Amino acid sequence: MKDWLTLIVLAAGLSMDAFAVSLCKGLTVKRIDIKKFAFAAGVFAVMQGIMPLIGYLFGSLFLEYIDNYLGIVSFVILLLVGGKMIYEGIKTYKNKAFDGEAVQEDKAFSVSAVLIQGVATSIDALAVGVSLLNFSINIYVSAPVISGITFPICMAGMFLGFKFGSALKAKNGLADILGGILLAAIGISFLFAR
């Protein structure tokens, strides 16, 4: 049960980058378009599921060398990824980077833009995949769970961006800070788990 709760919190933390991008996408639309929202959320969700799988498979190649240190390796990876998210979130929040630039809706939801953003927001999940070696839950179950949690979070982000537009522009960055804190906390728990 503890690993399931950890997996859910981990998935929510990983999805915060995609949530922040989804908020920004929601700010660009003049009306709700479920197909565009579902496409973007779907791409983000698939990428968030694939990247940990790749990281896990790559990490398993070196498992015999890192097995005794897996808790420390997981702690370091999650602390670095979480710290990076917190840093970027604080920087974005302070600069209000999105506040000055309007993005056209067509460009925001183009296939190339969504694919690039999907990869960019899931790179952290690649490194986190190594941490999933610590889990009792099979990676082939964990990856779809991560995707399944990311999809509604991204959909919610786009709806919130559309609904609360200007108020959210000033808060951009908070999602990354929250996600970073969650990942760092999970990393600390891995340090004491083994």
**Model confidence pLDDT, tens digit, residues 41-96:** 999 999 999 999 999 998 888 877 776 776 787 788 778 877 887 887 788 777 75
- CA distances for 167 relative to 45, 93, 160, 161, angstroms: 26, 13, 10, 9
Which residues are CB-neighbours of 161 under 8 A, at least 6 positions away?
22, 23, 24, 25, 26, 27, 28, 29, 168
pLDDT tens track for 141-192: 999 999 999 999 999 999 988 887 656 555 567 767 777 787 788 778 767 7
**Other CB atoms within 10 Å distance of the CB of residue 9:** 16
Read off the tokens for 141: 């179950």
Are the C-beta atoms of residues 20 and 161 closer than 8 Å to each other? no
80 Cβ partners below 8 Å, 6+ apart?
Answer: 127
